[in-house]
Amino acid sequence: MGFTIALIVFSLLLMLLVLMHKGKGGGLSDMFGGGMQSSVGGSSVAERNLDRITVVVGLLWFACIVVLGITMKTNN
């Protein structure tokens, strides 16, 4: 039960983190006002930290799925 709750929490957190990322051009982000491009070339520290946090949460989400798959397989 604990991993199921963790999976739900990580799923919601991952959706929020992905939506917080700045659009890289073209696509749906332009349709909703994300078309304003900054003239600054590099990415800021906040964006790099957001990328790192997103990757870590994605790996934890994946680990929860693997653990749930293993436990469901052994219970049947």
* 5-58 tens-digit pLDDT: 999 999 999 999 999 887 766 545 555 665 555 545 556 888 889 999 999 999
Per-residue pLDDT, 22: 75
Find the DSSP H helices in the chain: 2-20, 28-31, 45-75
Find how far residue 50's CA is from the centre of its chain.
9
Per-residue pLDDT, 1: 84
Per-residue pLDDT, 64: 95
- Higher-confidence position of 25 and 59: 59
As a whole number of angstroms, the distance between CA 18 and CA 51 comes to 9
As a whole number of angstroms, the distance between CA 61 and CA 14 comes to 8
As a whole number of angstroms, the distance between CA 31 and CA 18 comes to 17
Per-residue pLDDT, 47: 85
- The pTM (predicted TM-score) of the whole model is 0.73
